Amino acid sequence: MENACKHLKTRGIKPSYQRIKIFEYLLRNRNHPTVDMIYRKLVPRIPTLSKTTVYNTLNLFIEKEIASIIIIEENETRYDADTSVHGHFKCRKCTKVYDLDIDLSKIDIPMLAEHSVTEHHFYFKGICKNCR
Amino acid sequence: MENACKHLKTRGIKPSYQRIKIFEYLLRNRNHPTVDMIYRKLVPRIPTLSKTTVYNTLNLFIEKEIASIIIIEENETRYDADTSVHGHFKCRKCTKVYDLDIDLSKIDIPMLAEHSVTEHHFYFKGICKNCR
């Protein structure tokens, strides 16, 4: 809890109890959760929590660059405390989202050089190693 | 119009007037439109058109694999008649979405080999060549 608190402070985020708990959830569960998943897990212990608070808190984390947004499906926004460049693979069968290490030096897309790129998103779908 | 009609038929889609017009719009305007953009462009000439029809038609095109879905922003689903593997770059300033040619043989992501991949999505954000 102290670590999460410290991390929020260094990014200029006032560390309220709810914010700390939401950030801790993201750090501990690398499961790319939706607002709903986080809300359902935390509300038994924080009865005053609302989905709007979870949503606003995650948007604050994104603005302050301590979390990133993953949009693979329409109407299913997920969040990730890992803000480094990496990719995602979503299994159509078990719906699990896997992280993929990505070495940008091994990604050759010549047309990208024309623009000034600040965000890289790579996602893939199919059947995962455990389901096929 | 005949070409669009023929193309819909070969994919087992009953070529109604509205479906043909929506597919033609996608083919002619490679602008990655949203449901709203297509609706606003077509409704002056097709007063009976509804946003729901545009939405359902696009979903049918995706199911039949003559269009693909592009999700770069939350709550902003775009559609593309180009179903080949390619990437997208969205400019934060002018909001234009550019196509990027992608040669999969030049994309090296070792962890992907573990899974069976059916969909590849690459998108990037930043400032485009015309805005920087």
Per-residue pLDDT of chain A (132 residues; tens, 9 = 90+): 678 889 999 999 999 999 999 999 999 998 899 999 999 999 999 999 999 999 999 999 999 999 999 988 888 899 999 999 999 999 999 999 999 999 999 999 999 999 999 999 999 999 999 999
Q: Does B91 touch chain A (CB under 8 A)?
A: yes
Tokens matching residue B27: 């083919």
Q: What ipTM was assigned to the predicted interfaces of this complex? A: 0.82
Inter-chain contacts counted by CB atoms under 8 A, chains A and B? 118
A residues 18..77 contacting B (CB < 8 A): 69, 71-74, 77
For residues A102, A104, A106 and A110, what is the CA-based torsion angle, rounded to 10 degrees? 130
Q: Does A9 touch chain B (CB under 8 A)?
A: no
Q: Which of A78, A82, A77 is nearest to A67 (CA)?
A: A82
For residues A102, A105, A106 and A111, what is the CA-based torsion angle, rounded to 10 degrees? 110
Tell me the shortest Cα–Cα distance from A76 to chain B, in angstroms: 9
**Is A18 in contact with A8 (CB distance < 8 Å)?**
no
Mutate to test the interface with B, among A65, A115, A118, A122 (most CBs of B within 10 A): A115
